[in-house]
Structure 1
Amino acid sequence: MFWIVSGEGIVHGLASVVKAKYHLVQNKTDYQIAINNHLSGWERFIVGASNQLHHSVWNGFSFYDLIFPLFIFIAGVSMPFSFKKHLEHQNLTGQKGKKEIYIGLIRRTILLILLGMVVNGDLHFASYADTRFASVLGRIALSLLFAAIIYLNTNFKSRLIWLVGILLGYWAMMTLIAVPGFGRGNLTPEGNLAAWFDRLFLPGKLHRTIYDPEGWLSTIPAVGSALLGVFTGELLNKKGISKNLKALWILLGGLTLVLLGSIWNTVFPINKNMWTSSFVLYAGGWSLILLALFYYVIDVLGFKRWSMPLVWLGCNSILIYMAAHGIIDFKSSAYFIFGGLLHFISSPYHDAFIWSGVAVIQFVLLWYLYKKKIFLKL
């Protein structure tokens, strides 16, 4: 969340200084020559980080492509904890307990879909054709809803069958079903089955005109991303296994999924826009690796205090996401508060400084909300 609300602005601002200094161009060959011949180690790191904070145009994978599936994965991790806590707190069992959970899930799904439309700017009440119903929050809501239904009604073996079935089934659909005018197995932006399905059945406006990266059909494999989180949450919630061993198993699981995703990539490309099955495994693998790292540092080694700003951020992640995506103009606020200091800062660094000011404002706000125990809960 930090990267998408302010962190990327800081990195891009620093990278723009480096690129201007060396007159770097975006042509890949010239760009790489310039990096190899001129940039220092720190400058290479900044430029490389900036490049990673962009989505892949089509096939491929960048750090920025990991953020969305990581949200879904982590929400899946929380399920074994939150549902167990809910049932114990309500002292409910059997179908009565599930009914209470289902009501909460449906309510959260509807709210997230509506909030996603708010982020899209749909409360401007434009025409139906200009209204985008699909959204990041909408995909999170739907994938978690179906993953929760699977989790609440199956055992471990059945959930594993569901995961494999979803990934293989989506692969089969995308490669074997013929798209009118394009044939079968066409995985181009316009010719793939998910894009055709969006054009035919997704109401309103498509985000990319010929397809929507959060469309209906490509939400199906996102359920698999959530289920990977569920399996991880079950491991973390399991008694009788040491934290060290849990961290090791999570790390090994992550490495295995990265390998499997890379192998699958040879026949079904890693692609966030289509949310391909190989993308689910590859992104899920990196999600596990990152979780293993943070779990080991924070829970096993006990180094916790440094992570408190991330806790403030995580406790109001939906709130800050919505605020940063249209509700509050944090950049204008940063200019208003810190603009006077720009006279003392070299002009190439102005953008990086202002985005640092955005981060300060956001974290002060999040700290205050955390201190007052004010949380946006769905």
Structure 2
Amino acid sequence: MNIQQAPPLEAPIPRTAETARPPRLMSLDALRGFDMFWIMGAEELFHALAKATGLPLWETIATQMTHPAWNGFRFIDLIFPLFLFMSGVSTPYSVGRELEKGKSRQSQLWRIVRRGLMLVLLGIIYNNGLELRPLAEVRFGSVLGRIGLAYMFGAIIYLYASERVQMICFWGFIIGYWLLLKFTAAPGFPAGDLSMEGNFASFVDRTVMPGKLYLGIHDPEGLMSTLPAISTALLGIMTGNLLKHGQMPQIKKVGWMAGCGAAFIVLAQIWNLDFPINKNLWTSSFVLQVGGLSLLLMALFYYIIDVKGYQKWTLFFRVIGMNSILIYMSGVFINWEYTTEGFFKWLIQLSGEAYGPVMLFALMIGVKWVFLYFMYKKKVFLRV
């Protein structure tokens, strides 16, 4: 990718006409909202449709809404890493903007670390609620924790490294992780064992992580698999650099993203033959698979919204995307099913026994969206 080099380390970037704040990347807000839409209840909606209708189409879609037991890939596996990728895309716009204002790198370093650790804390709250528990019953690994740590290390690399070094780190993490798991294993297992019990990453997590693991002997958001997740964040950062600084027409940026995305998916299938695509381990082939799909989606949204200017339709997704952390955390404190039934129990009953759950999940998405739209209109956004 033809992307500008990171600025020299000796001094902050002066704010000039050339470094004036770029317009907000509306496609990023819309794509983030599209991503969160599935977490808001769309996943359950399709499961309910499949159960109610028994039609092959809905059953096929519902299958894609279920994670594989171990190896393999389905659509729902993309949702989490896509969000991490987008956190990376936003970094040149957020951290980069502060540097352009003349802020020091040290001030941005503390801002990045604070944000990363806050996400780790929110992840612990999401898993365990606000209650006192014995340490052995607390799960520390979390989706938000994985995003926080991977974003934090990726953003620190962005802060101090040139684009060339960022690229080296991207490949270095996933190649190094592949070699680590290929030539090691848990005690008593042959080198290269990638079973849940036998792989080296799960063994390290069982050994060093406090509290409980999600699956007892394995946690999909463990410490070791955070290493390749940093590459997911770095891919987003390099994409953000391309969009913000790339000295090429917008349509060529679309081409670069689409071309690299397709190439990554092909490479992922090849690597899958030796190092299976596995979200639980965040394998290197998984990084390329979800990275390629994320690039293709980013290219599509960027082309339609920012290049062609078709923006009115994005309101539904932007309302969600601009308060993504709020709606994710709200499930800890708000019983959305109870709230939805409080207003629409009668309509759910009228839908009948088979289609009642379909109506429930559809209305629940609507109730959540109205809540987010109210916050959007009041310009209230949860920032970490």
TM-score, with length taken from structure 2: 0.89
- Structure 1 122/371 Cα, relative in aligned 2: closer, same or farther at 3 Å? closer
User: C-alpha separation between the residues in 2 aligned to 1:136 and 1:262?
Assistant: 25
State the percentage of identical aligned residues: 42
Q: Please state if 1:45 is matched with 2:52.
A: no
Q: What is the identity, as a one-letter code, of the residue corresponding to 1:256?
A: A
User: C-alpha separation between the residues in 1 aligned to 2:144 and 2:341?
Assistant: 29
**Match for residue 88 of structure 2?**
76
1:141-160 equivalent positions in 2, closer than 5 A:
141-160=148-167
Instruction: Say how many residue pairs are matched.
Output: 349
Contact 2:109–2:159 under 8 Å retained in 1: no
1:57 to 56, 69, 80: 69
Q: What is the identity, as a one-letter code, of the residue corresponding to 1:373?
A: K
**Match for residue 350 of structure 1?**
356
1:133 to 133, 140, 144: 140
**Match for residue 38 of structure 2?**
3
User: C-alpha separation between the residues in 1 aligned to 2:348 and 2:317?
Assistant: 28
**Match for residue 328 of structure 1?**
334
**Cα offset for 1:300?**
1.6
**Cα offset for 1:183?**
2.5
**Cα offset for 1:127?**
0.8
Higher relative contact order (CA closer than 8 Å, sequence separation 6+): 2
**Match for residue 215 of structure 1?**
222
User: C-alpha separation between the residues in 2 aligned to 1:69 and 1:238?
Assistant: 24
**Match for residue 110 of structure 1?**
117
User: Structure 2: where are the runs of 5+ without partners?
Assistant: 1-35
Contact 2:340–2:360 under 8 Å retained in 1: yes
**Match for residue 38 of structure 1?**
none
User: C-alpha separation between the residues in 2 aligned to 1:58 and 1:240?
Assistant: 42
In terms of mean alpha carbon deviation, does 264-273 or 288-297 score higher?
A: 288-297
User: C-alpha separation between the residues in 1 aligned to 2:131 and 2:110?
Assistant: 30
**Match for residue 366 of structure 1?**
372
In terms of mean alpha carbon deviation, does 350-359 or 101-110 score higher?
A: 101-110
**Cα offset for 1:347?**
2.2
User: Structure 1: where are the runs of 5+ without partners?
Assistant: 20-42
Contact 2:186–2:197 under 8 Å retained in 1: no
1:18 to 26, 44, 53: 53
User: C-alpha separation between the residues in 2 aligned to 1:320 and 1:268?
Assistant: 35
Runs of 4+ in 1 over 6 A off after TM superposition: none
2:241 to 217, 230, 234: 234
- Structure 1 347/122 Cα, relative in aligned 2: closer, same or farther at 3 Å? closer
Q: CA offsets, 1:154-185, max 9 Å, x none?
A: 11111111111111100011010242111210
Q: CA RMSD in A?
A: 1.2
Contact 1:122–1:131 under 8 Å retained in 2: no
Q: Helix, strand or coil: the match of 2:130? A: helix
**Match for residue 40 of structure 1?**
none
**Cα offset for 1:149?**
1.1
Q: Helix, strand or coil: the match of 2:180? A: helix
**Match for residue 35 of structure 1?**
none
TM-score, with length taken from structure 1: 0.90
Contact 1:122–1:132 under 8 Å retained in 2: no
